[in-house]
A = this chain, B = another copy of it.
């Protein structure tokens, strides 16, 4: 909740009076501003189903609600665009359910580089581990590390001034996940952090914060099946992203 309600309510009242007075005297002239504002940049969210979050695949411009999905990308975009309405932020979501690092690599030129993001946020890794456990993928932890490093190295070459944000993979031991995932899964978390450090990316730590909330309340209130965030989980992730990114 905002702490600016009193001030905003005051401004709303006074500005609306001015606007409505303008309506009365010149009814065919829009009283609302159409002036241009400062550029902020293109923010692109990449990842798997957690990022995808049922987004529409229909062609759409930036900041389109259905194209942003129902997860943390929409929550971040809504909050930033509301707080910084005088800046030209353009938010895109290109997460695809089921993706692992090699899937990102295969579609990177078209789905990432071509969009020329100023800020590129990546959440990838849970499927790299999960699919290996299910024997539907042969990727090891070393493959995850080498693949992610190569992906980011190539990105830096293609987009020298891009700001990189790496989000930490997370799970909770309920639903699709149990305690046999640990400590192997923690290695993937450590790799994501190491790659972020090496590439100068901003790292968004998530796993410990989600585990702490799950311990305090109930795990299924944050990740319904141990993998996919609830609305509350997405809100927690969005909060931590904004704090880490300072956007």
Chain A residues close to B by CB (< 8 Å): 1-2, 5, 8-9, 11-16, 18-20, 23-24, 27-35, 37, 53-54, 56, 63, 65-66, 68-71, 74-75, 77-79, 81-82, 85-86, 91, 172-174, 178-180, 182-183, 207-209, 211-222, 230-236, 238-239, 242-243
User: Is there contact, CB below 8 Å, between A16 and B74?
Assistant: no
Query: How far, in Å, is A120 (CB) from chain B's closest CB?
Result: 20
Measured in the bound complex, the distance between the Cα atoms of B96 and A77 in whole Å is 24
Interfacial chain B residues near A208, Cβ < 8 Å: 12-13, 15-16
A90 nearest CB across to chain B (Å): 12
Cβ of A47 to closest chain B Cβ, rounded Å: 15
Judged by DSSP, the binding face of A is helix
When A179-B27, A209-B9 are in contact, do A231 and B35 touch as well, CB less than 8 Å? no
Top 3 A-B pairs, shortest CB-CB distance: A82-B235, A16-B208, A65-B70
What are 7 A-B contacts defined by CB distance under 8 Å? A13-B212, A23-B179, A33-B214, A33-B216, A68-B70, A78-B238, A91-B231
Contact call B222/A85, Cβ cutoff below 8 A: yes
Partner of A81, one of B53, B78, B231, B239: B231
